[in-house]
Amino acid sequence: MVFPIKDKIKNLNIVIGCPIGCRYCYARSNCRRFHITDDFSKPQFFENKLRLFDTKEPKVFLLTGMSDLAYWQFDWTEKVFEKAAQTPHNQYLFLTKRPERLNIQTDLANLWFGVTVTCAAERERIEILRRNVKAKHYHVTFEPLSDGVGEVNFSGIGWTVIGTETGNCKGKIPSERAWVDDLYLQAKAKGVPVFMKEALEGIVPTNEMIQEFPKEFHL
């Protein structure tokens, strides 16, 4: 049975806002629609949400669903890392499209740092992430997958997510089955768990959808 990733991984938008301006950005659209902040291009830190890290049961949180880690202020990152250290039963995921802006070194075992890659031209982000972020865990999200990515160095990558563009944006590029299969086979060869997001159903037959998590997530 195919299920939405949000059923297992919770969005905790402790920072809202991003200046990058991606054409397909759902977060910017939601921010404007629901008047969450006055200016989405200027990230804001909601420190009061740190209390939500205090869960009784282990959880997996995506902390950058409406932001990009590369545009967090240093003190925001420090406060989040400190709280994560106090809640080791949870796993915390971060994503960026600008790994060249990062300079992070951490030994915390419950932090996962990732990049978004949508096409071959963005593949170098993976190597830049490894260079600029020294951490226990890395992941890659290929979403929205808008072209074939080519050969990927999956060494040291602990998880990968594949997804297609959703919504009705002008210029929308649906993913192709061959692009998805290529990434899956490369990841599988390296023993990297793969999660195909629910929007790929129809591009990939339901009975061939792969939805895996790292063992550290305990899901």
Measured CA angle at 188 (ends 186, 193), to 5 deg = 120
Q: 187: closest CA among 207, 157, 213, 165?
A: 157
Q: Rounded to an integer, what is the distance from CA 165 to the centroid of its chain?
A: 14
Please determine, for residue 167, whether its predicted confidence score (pLDDT) is greater than 90: no
**pLDDT bracket for residue 206 (50, 70, 90):** very high
Look up the pTM and report it.
0.96
Predicted confidence (pLDDT) per residue in 48-107, tens digit: 999 999 999 999 999 999 999 999 999 999 999 999 999 999 999 999 999 999 999 999
Ordered DSSP codes for 2-41: ---GGGTSEE--SEEB-SS--TT-HHHHHHHHHT-SS-TT
- CA distance linking residue 78 with residue 82, whole number of Å: 6
Mean pLDDT of all residues in the chain?
96
Predicted confidence (pLDDT) per residue in 98-122, tens digit: 999 999 999 999 999 999 999 999 9
Domain map of the chain by residue range? 8-217
pLDDT at 46: 98
